[in-house]
Chains A and B, each alone.
Chain A
Amino acid sequence: MAKTKSLKQERSLLIPYLVLTIASIVSVFPFIWTFIASTHTNTEIFQISKAFVPGTNFFNNYRSLMSFSNIWRNLYNSLYISLLYTLLVCLIDAMAGYAFAKYNFKGRDIVFFICVCSMFIPQQVTLVPLFIQLSAMNLISNPWAVILPALSNIFGVFLMRQNFVAFPNEMIEASRIDGANDFLIFFRIAVPTVKPAFASLAILSFVQQWGNYLWPLIVLNTKESFTIPLVLALMRAGGTIVDYGAIMVGAVIALLPVLIFFLLFQRNFIEGIMSGAVKG
């Protein structure tokens, strides 16, 4: 009796296994294919027989990519923008979130309300005025033109506020009595208690900025200032003959940092998103 039941249970797991396996293959295949395609010539990329075996054209593709743009320079731009943005967004949003969560001050609720409302304004509304503004500030083709507007990340403030709310007021009071000032309390005591929130905000911000396309396309106008996605998009858009092999080498270079980052912090990545949504 018990045996037939467990057999039945095993059989009922067949469909979940099957579906999850197919979903995994479909999800991962384009990644593998990107690596494989980067080793093929432009004609081989269009042959399905070559889709599963690596070719020998990687270095030619790389050379052709480099003759289009110095991809290491572009990689540097991508890293510079994404890392600096991530660092600043964590700092700024944590400070703001802490103020909203732990202080009672005049105007707090109205300021918070305005911030939350502006979450519903799509980025596209500010495209034209921001472009005019940044041109006037002489920041076109400067990495800060990408970083500064993105720092207005209300989602992050919201996430941090939610996490700081649980930080006990008694701890703040006690530290004050011990003579610690508010900034010391924030950096030394409060911040370490919300490390997981920092991890998820950092990861989300990095990945989002890494793949950012529309806004950099508008404000970065020289090849020297381009991030990797812009180079790849420009190669794809250009001329009648598109060198897909070279684009795929660029795609691999764009993919590697995120992939390494992900494999190292896989758990924080996924759990950060799970908890972020539940709390938000």
Chain B
Amino acid sequence: MSRLKGKTSKGIIPWIFLAPFLIIFVTFMAYPSIYSIVISFTKYRAGEFSYAGLSNFKYVLNDPTFRKAIANTFFILIFQVPIQTLLAVILANFLNIKRLKALGLFRMFVFMPVLIDTVSYSVAFSLFFSNSSGGFVNSIIGLFGFEPLQWTNVGILSKIIIITAVTWRWTGYNTVIILGGLQNISADLYEAASIDGATKVKQFFEITIPGVKPVLLFSVVISVTGILQLFTEPNLITKGGPVNETLTIVQYLYNTGFVAFNYGVASAGAYILAIMIAILTYIQLKVTKED
């Protein structure tokens, strides 16, 4: 009898533990995600939604500004993620050399950029890369005899600012993630390999790389996803300019939804972004699984 009672109450207890999270999840995640699909098939005018079929999707896919935003975002992506990953791998390997002194201090310094809030560091970077000849970066290149550059007036230079800023902020974070992976590799593996006469280079490719692969994958996936969702830096440093040269997908969505109040188009665009993120994540998981 008491056993039976125990069982029935046990059936409810896990749901009580889950309840706060599930209520929040359904109200603020599941429901709006579905609602968003509905909105993407409607037109919003004067507080009323009316059915609009696929017109929002057609509109957004044919909008040259949206295409420009996708092109810009991917341009930033294909340079920023590899550069950052390479830097993070190098730094993590150096931070894993146990014979170095002051490792904890180096690790702390390298990690620090992730602490600063995005707005503050964006303003700081916009000042470093100011167009004036007294600007920080312009002064440095001046030392090497170069003319000051019009950073925010030239498309490619604006993209370079964004790439530099994002790389500055996230390299340390990814270094720490990769370092975690490196430290999880058993030292015995290296010892056995060096007894077998494997060179350092061989050890790097045959023990280190396979050992950190899952963590490296994690780092790349979150970096790619992060760039696809880039907003604050272009919004504050370059304001999307010059002439939309650094306009990103999320900036486009923000402008469409909350400046122009075109809810339907913004929702359709958001779903296209979601699909892109899903596809890219899937490809990355697939590619790394094969070998």
Give the CA-CA distance A109 to B84 in the complex, in Å.
37
Asked if B228 is at the interface (CB within 8 A of a chain A CB), the reply is yes
Q: CB-CB contacts of B219-239 with A at 8 A, as 1s and 0s?
A: 100000100110110011001
Whether A255 contacts B116 by the Cβ 8 Å rule is: yes
Give the CA-CA distance A265 to B181 in the complex, in Å.
22
Closest B residue to A211 using CB positions: B117
Find A99's partner among B18, B32, B179 (CB 8 Å cutoff). Answer: B18
Chain A residues within an 8 Å CB radius of B97: 13, 16
Asked if A76 is at the interface (CB within 8 A of a chain B CB), the reply is no
Whether B139 contacts A48 by the Cβ 8 Å rule is: yes
Q: How far is the CB of B178 from chain A (nearest CB, A)?
A: 8
Q: CB-CB contacts of B121-153 with A at 8 A, as 1s and 0s?
A: 101111110101011100100000000000000
Chain A residues within an 8 Å CB radius of B22: 96, 111
Q: How far is the CB of B77 from chain A (nearest CB, A)?
A: 15
Whether A108 contacts B14 by the Cβ 8 Å rule is: yes
Chain A residues within an 8 Å CB radius of B120: 34, 229, 232, 250-251, 254-255
Closest A residue to B91 using CB positions: A23
Chain A residues within an 8 Å CB radius of B254: 127, 214, 218
Q: CB-CB contacts of B163-177 with A at 8 A, as 1s and 0s?
A: 000001001110011
Find B90's partner among A19, A33, A51, A103 (CB 8 Å cutoff). Answer: A19
Closest A residue to B97 using CB positions: A16
Q: How far is the CB of B156 from chain A (nearest CB, A)?
A: 22
Whether B231 contacts A214 by the Cβ 8 Å rule is: yes
Quick one: given A30-B168, A125-B270, A259-B115, are A24 and B257 in contact (CB under 8 Å)?
no
Whether A33 contacts B118 by the Cβ 8 Å rule is: no
Chain B residues within an 8 Å CB radius of A237: 236, 239
Closest A residue to B239 using CB positions: A237
Whether B14 contacts A122 by the Cβ 8 Å rule is: no
Quick one: given A129-B267, A152-B29, A236-B123, are A278 and B215 in contact (CB under 8 Å)?
yes
Whether B100 contacts A120 by the Cβ 8 Å rule is: no
Which of A54-62, A65-73, A191-199, A268-276 is found at the contact surface with chain B? A268-276
Asked if A133 is at the interface (CB within 8 A of a chain B CB), the reply is yes
Whether B127 contacts A244 by the Cβ 8 Å rule is: yes
Asked if B36 is at the interface (CB within 8 A of a chain A CB), the reply is yes
Chain B residues within an 8 Å CB radius of A124: 229, 250, 253, 270, 273-274
Q: How far is the CB of B231 from chain A (nearest CB, A)?
A: 5
Find B181's partner among A31, A228, A277 (CB 8 Å cutoff). Answer: A277
Asked if B204 is at the interface (CB within 8 A of a chain A CB), the reply is no
Asked if B184 is at the interface (CB within 8 A of a chain A CB), the reply is yes
Whether B124 contacts A30 by the Cβ 8 Å rule is: yes
Chain A residues within an 8 Å CB radius of B100: 13, 16-17, 20
Closest B residue to A78 using CB positions: B117
Whether A182 contacts B112 by the Cβ 8 Å rule is: no
Chain A residues within an 8 Å CB radius of B111: 27, 269-270
Q: CB-CB contacts of A110-127 with B at 8 A, as 1s and 0s?
A: 010011001011111111
Asked if B106 is at the interface (CB within 8 A of a chain A CB), the reply is yes
Chain A residues within an 8 Å CB radius of B30: 114, 118
Give the CA-CA distance A105 to B19 in the complex, in Å.
14
Whether A24 contacts B13 by the Cβ 8 Å rule is: no
Q: How far is the CB of A245 from chain B (nearest CB, A)?
A: 11
Asked if B162 is at the interface (CB within 8 A of a chain A CB), the reply is no
Give the CA-CA distance A2 to B270 in the complex, in Å.
63
Whether B277 contacts A277 by the Cβ 8 Å rule is: no
- Interchain residue pairs with CB less than 8 A apart (6): A114-B30, A124-B253, A126-B28, A232-B120, A232-B123, A273-B180
Add 5 more A-B contacts to A9-B99, A157-B21, A229-B117 (CB < 8 A): A23-B109, A24-B105, A103-B13, A152-B29, A214-B254
What 10 A-B pairs have minimum CB-CB distances, sorted nearest first? Answer: A274-B180, A211-B117, A103-B14, A96-B21, A24-B109, A99-B17, A251-B120, A129-B32, A229-B119, A129-B35
Q: Which residues of B contact A (CB under 8 A)?
A: 6, 10-11, 13-15, 17-18, 20-22, 24-25, 27-33, 35-36, 39, 90-91, 94-95, 97, 99-100, 105-121, 123-128, 130, 132, 134-136, 139, 168, 171-173, 176-177, 179-181, 183-184, 215, 218-219, 225, 228-229, 231-232, 235-236, 239, 250, 253-254, 257-258, 263, 266-267, 270-271, 273-274, 277-278, 281
Q: Which residues of A contact B (CB under 8 A)?
A: 9, 13, 16-17, 19-21, 23-24, 26-28, 30-31, 33-34, 37, 45-48, 51, 91-93, 95-96, 98-100, 103, 105-106, 108, 111, 114-115, 118, 120-133, 148-149, 151-152, 154, 157, 176, 182, 186, 207, 210-211, 213-214, 218, 228-230, 232-233, 236-237, 244, 247-248, 250-251, 254-255, 258-259, 262, 266, 269-270, 273-275, 277-278, 280
